[in-house]
Amino acid sequence: MAQQIFAYIVHKDGVPDDSAMELAAAAKKIDAGAALTAIVMGSGDNVDKVANAVASAYSEVWKVNKAEVAYPNAEIIRGMLVNMLPKGSIVLVPHVTFGMDLSPGLSVKLDTAYVADVVGIDGVSGSSLKIVRQEYSGQVSTHVECDISAGAVINVRGGCFKPEEANAGGKVVDKTADAGSVTAKRRFLEVVKGEVGEVDITKADVLVSVGRGIGEQDNLEIIRDLAKAMGAEVSCSRPIVDAKWLEKPRQVGTSGQTVKPKVYMALGISGSFQHLGGIKGSPFMVAINKNSKAPIFQVADVGVVADMLEFIPELTDKINDMK
């Protein structure tokens, strides 16, 4: 395999994202002997800080220091990458909101294959890369064959590859001039911080978290009753906030709050990776779901396959009786 492998490094406030070292590990699964190049774009001192921080895991780090990419505008960065990358390259990008914005269009402009949200890599045979993905909200997995003869853009899900040990000792190369100048028809304005609610679920020891399985808004009452009996706070997954049944600050997940409770009750929550991405510190997790195939049962400590609408009121009554 003579293709070069690049990893796009996402960073914030001078600190590389956890994905930086995971992409290096994913690259090794594609080609264990490959010389890996990291790409760090941004503006000011932070670019050097990030470039130096990731150099240990990559044989080379390309840095681009330009005012236009002080905030990562995917359209501008895409244009610069097209200017810089050799034809036929394999480009790894983390499957975060920026990666989802950048990657599909980048694959079109580079005229390469594209695979999104990769959770495993089974290796290369000739020009065919074998990849593992999940479909249908994680209920089933698939092996996917990707023709990499003309290169590929691959989005890698966080937490799926063990971060690479730091031993490559790469050199940092300034590629600012090669990035060129790119104009954009989409202009970044500002980041609006999420609202802060009356309840801070990030501080709760025990969370009773409800998902789509609750069915109707009126049924939330049984969740509130259980939380009251347990002395817990109520949190939820995304569909509950989308339906405006609970407020956004109660949402657990990558697009909501990151929580660190001791005990997490997942009620009628299927367990998408975006939801699980918001739970840190390995709490004791109990999942109650009527779908025995729900992905949540793969990560929970204890599971109950039951209709929550019948099961939870009984559980609440027993807890109350016990007191």
Partner 1 sequence: MEILVCVKRVPDTSENEIEVNKDGTDIKRDDLVYSVNEWDNYAVEEAIQIVDRVGGSVTVVTVGDSDSEEILRREMAMGANNGILLSDDAFATTDGKGIATILKAIVQKGKYDLILTGAQADDGAGQVGGMLAAMLDMPYASLVNKIEDLDGKLKVGREIEGGNQEMNEIDLPCVLSIQTGINEPRYVGIRGIRKVASVDIPVHGLSDLGISADAIKAKVKRLDYFVPELGKGAEILEGSNDEIIEKLIELLKSKGGIK
Q: Which of residues 197-226 bind partner 1 (CB under 8 A)?
A: 205-206, 212
To partner 1, the closest distance from the beta carbon of 290 in angstroms equals: 9
The per-residue b/e assignment along 73-98, b for 16 or more CB within 10 angstroms, e otherwise, is bbbbbbbbbeebbeebbbbbbbbbeb
| 112 alpha-carbon distance from chain centroid | 23
Q: Which of residues 256-295 bind partner 1 (CB under 8 A)?
A: 256-258, 262-263, 265, 270, 284-287, 291-293, 295
Taking CB under 8 A as the criterion, the residue among 26, 39, 81, 115 binding partner 1 is 115
Question: Any idea which residue has 């990562």 for tokens?
Answer: 72
To partner 1, the closest distance from the beta carbon of 199 in angstroms equals: 14
Measured between alpha carbons, how far is 185 from 262 in angstroms, rounded to an integer? 47
104 binds partner 1 (CB under 8 A): yes
To partner 1, the closest distance from the beta carbon of 172 in angstroms equals: 27
143 contacts 132 by C-beta, under 8 angstroms: yes
Contact letters (x/-) for partner 1, 154-193, by CB under 8 A?
------------------------------xxxxxxxxxx
320 binds partner 1 (CB under 8 A): no
Q: Which of residues 4-63 bind partner 1 (CB under 8 A)?
A: none
Output the CA torsion sign for 30, 35, 36, 42.
negative
Q: Give the HSE-up count for residue 78: Cα atoms under 13 Å, Cβ half-sphere.
A: 22
Contact letters (x/-) for partner 1, 232-251, by CB under 8 A?
x-----xx-xxxx---xx-x
To partner 1, the closest distance from the beta carbon of 30 in angstroms equals: 15
Measured between alpha carbons, how far is 25 from 158 in angstroms, rounded to an integer? 12
